[in-house]
Amino acid sequence: MGRFVRRRVRPINGDGSQVRRVERFVEHNVYNKVPLSTCWESTGKAPIGVRWVDVNKGDKIHPEYRSRLVAKEITIDKRMDLLAATPPLESNKLLFSWAVTEGVGFVKGGKKGGTKLDFIDVRRAYFHAEARRQVFVDLCEEDDVKGMCGELVKAMYGTRDAAQNWEVTYVEFMSEVGFVSGKATPCVFSTKRES
C-alpha cells in the first residue's frame, strides 16, 4: 500500500504528474466549468474545496508518485445510505474453496467444466460513475478560471456519495450483461454457465 504524502508541490519530481491528471479530468468529463453564481444560486453556499493527494506507490529508493485530485466534502451527519458494499475476505475464501472442490466448482479431467473466478479492479473507477446529485467543486490551481467552479458530471474522490455512485454504475452494468448480485454480499456476482 502506498504512503500518503500531502504537499502543494507542483509538478511532482518535475515530470508534470499533476498537470497530466488535470488532463484526465477533462478527458473523462468529470466536471463542467460553470460560473460561481450558478453554485451560489443552486446551493446557497460556496463550492466544495479540492486538494491534491499524492501517493508514493514505490519506495524511498524508487519513488512512483501518483496524484489524485479529491474534493474536501466534510461529513456532518451519519447517512447509512451512502455506504457502498465491499466484499468481505470470507467471501473470497469461500469462492476459492468452491472453485477447487471437486463436484462443486471443479470437474475432474475437464478444463471447460469448472468454475471461473474473476476479481476486477477498475482504474479510475469513479470517473466512470455519473454524479447523482448536484455538486460544485473549486477548480484546482492548474485548471483555475477566475469566477468559475466545476459542476460534477462524474463522481469525484472525496465526495460523500462517490463510492455509492460507483456501486450503482457497476451493479447496473453487471445486471445488463447477465450477472446476478449476491444476496449476502451484493458486490459478488454470479451467472449461469451456458451449455
Provide the residue ranges of all domains of the chain, joining segments of one domain with +.
3-73+85-108+117-189
Cell 475464501 found at: 93
Cβ-based neighbours of 86, under 8 Å, separated by 6 or more: 187
Q: Select from 59, 57, 49, 45 the least CA-distant residue to 17.
A: 57
Asked which of 13-17, 80-84, 148-152 is least confident by mean pLDDT, the reply is 13-17
Distance CA 150, CA 144 (A): 10
In the chain, the amino acid numbered 59 is: D
pLDDT digits (tens, 9 = 90+) for 95-126: 888 888 877 777 777 666 677 777 777 777 88
pTM of model > 0.75: no
Distance CA 67, CA 22 (A): 10
Cβ-based neighbours of 84, under 8 Å, separated by 6 or more: 163, 164, 166, 167, 187
Which of 4-18, 50-64, 107-121 is the most confident on average? 50-64
Query: For all residues of the chain together, what is the average pLDDT?
Result: 80
111-135 CB burial, b ≥16 within 10 A, e <16? eeebeeeeeeeeeebbbbbebeeeb
Asked which of 65-79, 134-148, 164-178 is least confident by mean pLDDT, the reply is 65-79
Q: Which three cell numbers stand for residue 144?
A: 483555475
The helix (H) or strand (E) run that includes residue 53 is strand 50-56
Distance CA 70, CA 97 (A): 38
The residue length of the chain stands at 195
Count of other CB atoms within 10 angstroms of residue 21:
19
Beta bridge mates, 69: 52
pLDDT of residue 12 exceeding 50, the answer is no
Question: To 5 degrees, how large is the angle CA 134–CA 164–CA 120?
Answer: 130
